Structure formats: C-alpha cells, structure tokens
Amino acid sequence: MIRMTMAVIFCVVSVYSFIGIFTLFRVLVRFKQYDELERKAIIETLAMSMVIILVVNFGQLILSFITPYDWAPFIFSGSSLALIGNTPLHFDSFFFDCSILGISYMVRRHHFGLIKVKNILIPIIIILIFILMPLMLH
C-alpha cells in the first residue's frame, strides 16, 4: 500500500515536472507578448519557486547533519537518465525544480483568475490515468 501511494505521488510530481518544463519554455519565448497581470504571475511564480526550492534544499542539508552518514537525500542529481532513481530512491533535482515551477505557476495563475481549477485538474487526471493504467492492469 505504501509503495502504491509513493508511486502515485511520484506520478503526480512527474506530471507537474513535465508541465513545468513546457511552461518554462513557453514563458521564455512569449514573455514580451503577455499583459501586465500575466507578467506579474510569472515573476511571482519564479520568486515563490526559488523560496520553495531553497527551503527544501536547506531542509535536506540540515537532515544530512542530523542523521547518520548512510542517509541519502530524497532529491539529488542522479547518474542515470531516469526521472526517478532506484539506488537509492530519489527524485532528480532538475525535474523536481521544474515540478515546483509548474505547480507554482498553476497556483499563481489560479490566484489571479487566469485559469480555472478544472483546467488545472483535467490534464493531470488524464495523464495520470495513462500512467497508472499499466500499473493497474499488471
């Protein structure tokens, strides 16, 4: 049950990481075309993402000082090209940063009324169904 819960959490974060990557590229290309409200949402997204990433990394730093030497951080750069590594179980730092960016951007756009909740949830649910379908059928 715990493994299934972790798999679902990893899938949700991985979906947001891909959304974050494509959102980042779209924002970089079209930044000059956005109106003032959308630009404010982008700037606040970048600031909020940076704070969250710094807090998570600082928390891992503190945990590395407190815990024994065999503790491995949850988020770090892996040697494989996988989004989620198995030895030890970790989430790649680049994709984690992109997922934080994607989540922050969706939250800020919803806060300013630029996107509705159903427009946030429907693509995630559709992608999760396609990701989890093989796991459920297996």
Long-range contacts of 94-98 (CB under 8 A, 24+ apart): 95/13, 95/14, 95/17, 96/13, 96/17, 96/53, 96/56, 97/20, 97/49, 97/53, 98/16, 98/17, 98/18, 98/20, 98/21, 98/24
Residue 14 and residue 128 in contact, taking contact as beta carbons nearer than 8 Å: no
Residue 72, token pair as written in the block: 């491995």
What number is the average pLDDT over the span 53-72? 80
What number is the average pLDDT over the span 80-84? 54
Give 38-49 pLDDT, tens digit per residue: 889 989 988 999
pLDDT-derived band at 68 (thresholds 50, 70, 90) equals confident
Residue where the block lists tokens 């959308």: 38
Residue 128 and residue 12 in contact, taking contact as beta carbons nearer than 8 Å: yes
User: Residue 44: what pLDDT?
Assistant: 92
Is the pLDDT at 78 greater than 60, yes or no?
Answer: yes
What number is the average pLDDT over the span 57-63? 84
User: Residue 75: what pLDDT?
Assistant: 72
By the 10 Å C-beta count (0-12 exposed, 13-18 middle, 19+ buried), 4 is classed as: exposed
| Mean pLDDT, the chain, whole residue set | 77
More confident residue, 90 or 59: 59
Is the pLDDT at 112 greater than 80, yes or no?
Answer: yes
Is the pLDDT at 131 greater than 70, yes or no?
Answer: no
User: Residue 79: what pLDDT?
Assistant: 56
User: Residue 89: what pLDDT?
Assistant: 61
